[in-house]
């Protein structure tokens, strides 16, 4: 095995370590999105799992379920954008905190 392969192997190991650190950091992320001036709030973790939804009673209108659904979707979207902003970056241009695997010669 040549030096090139050993270098790639070392880079892959470093990337695994960075990914493990990223996963740990992601577990600590929590963001809350709002819609309708706080009538609906959605809390997500770093894995984009919904941890909590709060709906104020004055926005619950049995004749306007569509409006409530729209507020929930908007609050969820807001929370997702906030989680993405908090995501740690490992550089490399892979997006969403992911390294650029192509730069390691894996052809991705």
Residue with more model confidence, 55 or 26: 55
- Whole-angstrom CA distances from 89 to 26, 78, 86 are 11, 20, 9
Q: If residue 45 lies in a helix (H) or strand (E), which one and from where to where?
A: strand 40-45
- Residue 93, both tokens: 């241009």
The edge-to-edge listing of strands for the beta sheet with 30-35 is 30-35, 40-45, 50-55
pLDDT digits (tens, 9 = 90+) for 3-54: 888 888 888 889 998 888 887 777 788 999 999 999 999 999 988 899 999 9
Contacts of residue 22, Cβ cutoff 8 Å, sequence gap at least 6: 88, 90, 97, 98
pLDDT digits (tens, 9 = 90+) for 95-105: 444 444 444 44
pTM of the model: 0.63
User: What's the mean pLDDT in 59-77?
Assistant: 94
Distance (Å, whole) CA 69 – CA 62: 12
Residue with more model confidence, 102 or 75: 75
Distance (Å, whole) CA 62 – CA 7: 63
Residues 30-89: name the CATH superfamily: Nucleoid-associated protein YbaB-like domain (3.30.1310.10)
When pLDDT is cut at 50, 70 and 90, the band that residue 80 belongs to is: very high
């Amino acid at each position: 095995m040549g030096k090139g392969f050993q270098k790639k192997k070392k880079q892959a190991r470093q990337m695994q370590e960075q990914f493990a650190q990223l996963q740990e950091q992601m577990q600590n992320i929590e963001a809350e999105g709002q819609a309708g001036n706080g009538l609906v709030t959605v809390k997500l973790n770093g894995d984009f799992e919904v941890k909590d939804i709060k709906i104020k009673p004055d926005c619950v209108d049995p004749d306007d379920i569509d409006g409530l659904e729209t507020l929930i979707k908007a609050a969820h979207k807001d929370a997702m954008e906030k989680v993405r902003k908090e995501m740690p970056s490992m550089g490399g241009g892979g997006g969403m905190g992911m390294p650029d695997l192509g730069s390691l010669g894996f052809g991705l």
